[in-house]
């Protein structure tokens, strides 16, 4: 909402907000960091879909990735928590206010090491929020140690070889029962946008593992999370197109070419087949595909799995329609008659 002397006609979204209203403060991450691209995609997606910024709450843990919520959606509340425990903070906040659109940003250290337990339980609960893993295989803020997603045989800048197998956060999330699982690459603007927009529309937890190269500590020869490695090894599962609920849907779909997934809010994810047949609602197929791609040395990207039917944790808890945080005293403090009744029972 800045003012300029001679304003050109401003471009606004369906809420009348400019893209500027979706930006955050200036990034302090390294120039060229994949995380900055992800922040830009988040800005674009929330702007384009016309999500009200102050209905969003941002959450993160600790690490380079977790600094990034300060760099997008400056008009949203944000909470930079402790290392690996963003899921708990987000869960609590969303219990308090179920109308919040939760966006969690985390890293591979934050999620796959110190926070893997909380990640697991977040998935188990199907907590309705977006969970973006900015995955670069390395601890950046502590200057370049391997993380648990680093591939076996990949090397540090110092030449140290990683001899432990990686955790595949997508495969793990699928096994634990995640309802939306996708992998993308920070350099793939179109795909990442479609995935993020679908995640905004998804009713449950959206796990998005984004390979996001660390230009300072993990962009060298020998790294499997570098820009050049991704250029050579990314295998796109399909082409994605997201049609929001407020836009008209093209009716004619080429038979057999495009799969349509209707999201909870009436939006559509259109999946255009590339080289192979793929049903994004088949969980075991997704796991098989990941294993096969891994064996071929490919980094498979796209929407791996969508399940729009599973209840969220908030639904399971049968929580009141009104926001718990601001329920009036009349709803939260039982009457004197109730206390008298309980006292009588204890006599």
Q: Give the residue, chosen from 19, 30, 95, 236, that forms a contact with other proteins under the rule CB under 8 A.
A: 95
By the rule CB under 8 A, 343 interacts with other proteins: yes
By the rule CB under 8 A, 90 interacts with other proteins: yes
Q: Among 177, 79, 72, 68, which residue's Cα sits nearest to residue 127? A: 177
Q: Tell me the CA distances in angstroms from 262 to 138, 201, 320, one per residue in order.
A: 36, 10, 27
> What distance in Å separates the CA atoms of residue 239 and residue 248, rounded to the nearest whole number?
20
Q: Give the residue, chosen from 34, 63, 87, 204, that forms a contact with other proteins under the rule CB under 8 A.
A: 87
> What distance in Å separates the CA atoms of residue 203 and residue 219, rounded to the nearest whole number?
36
Q: How many residues bind other proteins (CB under 8 A)?
A: 60
Binding piece for other proteins, criterion CB under 8 A, among 206-214, 225-233, 248-256, 328-336: 328-336
Q: Give the residue, chosen from 96, 152, 250, 291, that forms a contact with other proteins under the rule CB under 8 A.
A: 96
In whole angstroms, the minimum distance from the beta carbon of 2 to other proteins comes to 13
Q: Give the residue, chosen from 33, 51, 93, 181, that forms a contact with other proteins under the rule CB under 8 A.
A: 93
Binding piece for other proteins, criterion CB under 8 A, among 37-45, 115-123, 221-229, 277-285: 115-123
> What distance in Å separates the CA atoms of residue 241 and residue 132, rounded to the nearest whole number?
19
Binding piece for other proteins, criterion CB under 8 A, among 219-227, 256-264, 300-308, 322-330: 322-330
> What distance in Å separates the CA atoms of residue 137 and residue 134, rounded to the nearest whole number?
9
> What distance in Å separates the CA atoms of residue 284 and residue 300, rounded to the nearest whole number?
15
> 39 in helix, strand or coil?
helix
By the rule CB under 8 A, 193 interacts with other proteins: no
Which neighbouring-strand residues pair with 130?
103, 206
> What distance in Å separates the CA atoms of residue 211 and residue 220, rounded to the nearest whole number?
15
Q: Give the residue, chosen from 88, 236, 249, 258, that forms a contact with other proteins under the rule CB under 8 A.
A: 88
By the rule CB under 8 A, 288 interacts with other proteins: no
By the rule CB under 8 A, 339 interacts with other proteins: yes
> What distance in Å separates the CA atoms of residue 234 and residue 47, rounded to the nearest whole number?
28
Q: Angle, to 10 degrees, between the axis of helix 116-125 and the axis of helix 86-96? A: 30
Q: Which helix (H) or strand (E) holds 345?
A: helix 336-345
By the rule CB under 8 A, 306 interacts with other proteins: no
Q: Among 275, 241, 244, 283, which residue's Cα sits nearest to residue 259? A: 241
Residues in contact with other proteins, shown as a per-residue x/- string from 34 to 73 under the rule CB under 8 A: -------------------xxx-x-x---------xx---
In whole angstroms, the minimum distance from the beta carbon of 338 to other proteins comes to 5
Residue 248's CB is within 10 A of a number of other CB atoms, namely: 6
The residues in 241-280 that bind other proteins, with binding defined as CB under 8 A, are: none
List residues near other proteins by CB under 8 A: 1, 21, 53-55, 57, 59, 69-70, 74-82, 85, 87-97, 99-100, 117-118, 120-121, 314, 317-321, 323-327, 329, 331-334, 336, 338-340, 342-343, 346-347
């Amino acid at each position: 909402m800045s003012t300029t002397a001679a304003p050109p006609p401003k471009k606004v979204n369906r809420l009348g907000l400019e893209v500027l209203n979706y930006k955050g403060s200036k990034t302090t991450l390294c120039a060229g960091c994949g995380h900055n691209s992800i922040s830009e995609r988040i800005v674009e997606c929330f702007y384009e879909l016309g999500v009200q910024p102050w209905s969003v709450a941002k959450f993160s843990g600790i690490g380079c990735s977790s600094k990034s919520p300060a760099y997008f959606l400056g008009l949203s509340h944000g909470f930079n928590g402790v290392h690996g425990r963003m899921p708990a903070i987000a869960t609590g906040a969303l219990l308090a206010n179920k109308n919040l659109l939760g966006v969690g940003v985390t890293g591979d250290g934050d999620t796959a090491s110190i926070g893997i337990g909380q990640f697991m339980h977040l998935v188990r609960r199907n907590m309705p929020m977006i969970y973006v893993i900015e995955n670069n295989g390395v601890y950046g803020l502590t200057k370049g140690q391997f993380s648990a997603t680093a591939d076996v045989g990949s090397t540090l800048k110092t030449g140290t070889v990683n001899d432990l197998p990686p955790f595949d956060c997508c495969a793990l999330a699928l096994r634990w029962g995640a309802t939306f699982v996708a992998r993308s690459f920070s350099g793939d603007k179109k795909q990442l946008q479609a995935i993020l927009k679908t995640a905004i529309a998804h009713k449950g937890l959206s796990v998005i593992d984004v390979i996001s190269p660390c230009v300072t500590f993990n962009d060298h020869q020998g790294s499997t999370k570098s820009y050049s490695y991704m250029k050579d090894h990314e295998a796109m599962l399909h082409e994605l197109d997201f049609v929001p609920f407020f836009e008209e849907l093209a009716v004619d779909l080429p038979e057999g070419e495009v799969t349509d997934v209707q999201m909870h809010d009436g939006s559509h994810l259109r999946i255009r087949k590339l080289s192979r047949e793929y049903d994004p609602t088949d969980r075991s197929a997704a796991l098989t595909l990941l294993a096969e791609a891994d064996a071929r040395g490919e980094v498979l990207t796209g929407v791996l799995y969508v399940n729009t039917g599973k209840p969220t944790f908030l639904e399971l808890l049968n929580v009141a329609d009104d926001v718990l945080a601001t329920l009036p005293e009349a709803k939260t403090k039982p009457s004197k008659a109730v206390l008298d009744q309980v006292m009588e029972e204890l006599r």
